[in-house]
Amino acid sequence: MKTHIPSAEENVRSWHVINADGAVLGRLASKAARILMGKHKPTYTPFLDTGDHVIVVNADKVRLTGAKESDKVYHRHSGYPGGLKETTAGKLRAVRPVRVVELAISGMLPKTKLGKQMYRKLKVYAGPKHPHAAQKPAEMTVGQ
């Protein structure tokens, strides 16, 4: 018996909306990453992008548990000697609330070309509105 490999024509991509209002960041990110990778489908193949599109709304109202607001640190580097910059989660949320959700989800995707392809199907919005109503996205909930 041969293993069936799904082709690009067989893969039907649907759209999902996740409301981040009051949701814990890690639980939200793991659910979104699972959908982006396609692990929720029976046709999941590790070396193919079989995932769906994910829209996250109300990203500014996502919840961080414990003292992560002040203790969680994000790093970036300018490329120059001594160019390491550090930002706490609280400061990043104040300036760019969408970036906190994007970093959490991208950290759970593969660190390859395939992972970058999956990441492109993610749309994150700070408020409750999004411009993807024409795609008829299905509502999803994350455990509160």
88 inside domain: no
Q: What is the pLDDT of residues 44-99, one digit of tens each?
A: 999 999 999 999 999 999 999 999 999 999 999 999 999 999 999 999 999 999 99
Q: How sure is the predictor about 3, in pLDDT bands with cuts at 50, 70 and 90?
A: confident
72 domain-assigned: no
Chain segment 18-50, per-residue pLDDT in tens? 999 999 999 999 999 999 999 999 999 999 999
In a domain, 6, yes or no: no
The reported pLDDT for the residue numbered 6 is 87
* Mean pLDDT, the chain, whole residue set: 95
What pLDDT does residue 65 have? 95
Banded pLDDT at 1 (limits 50, 70, 90): confident
Q: Is 110 exposed, middle or buried (0-12, 13-18, 19+ CB in 10 A)?
A: middle
Q: What's the pLDDT score for residue 144?
A: 58
Of the pLDDT bands very low, low, confident and very high (cuts 50, 70, 90), residue 9 is: confident
Whether 2 maps to a domain, the answer reads no
Q: Where are the alpha helices (DSSP H) in 4-143?
A: 25-37, 68-71, 89-95, 97-106, 113-119
Q: What is the pTM of this model?
A: 0.93
In a domain, 40, yes or no: yes
**Burial letters for 61-83: b for 16+ Cβ neighbours within 10 Å, e otherwise?**
ebbbeeeeeeebeeeeeeeeeee
- Domain extent for 24: 15-65+96-140
In a domain, 52, yes or no: yes
User: Do residues 92 and 99 lie in contact, with contact meaning Cβ atoms separated by under 8 Å?
Assistant: yes
Residue 123 near residue 41, CB atoms below 8 Å: no
**What is the CATH classification number for the domain harbouring 103?**
3.90.1180.10
Residue 22 near residue 128 (C-beta atoms within 8 A): no
32 assigned to some structural domain: yes
The two three-digit tokens of residue 103, written as one number = 């970093």
Question: Which residues on neighbouring strands pair with residue 63, listed in sequence order?
Answer: 24
Query: Which residues 6+ apart lie within 8 Å of 103 measured at CB?
Result: 74
- Measure the CA–CA gap between 19 and 16, rounded to whole angstroms: 10
Give residue 111's pLDDT band: very low, low, confident or very high (50, 70, 90). Answer: very high
* 91 in a structural domain: no
Q: Kind of pairing, strands 53-57 and 122-124?
A: parallel
How many domains are there within the chain? 1
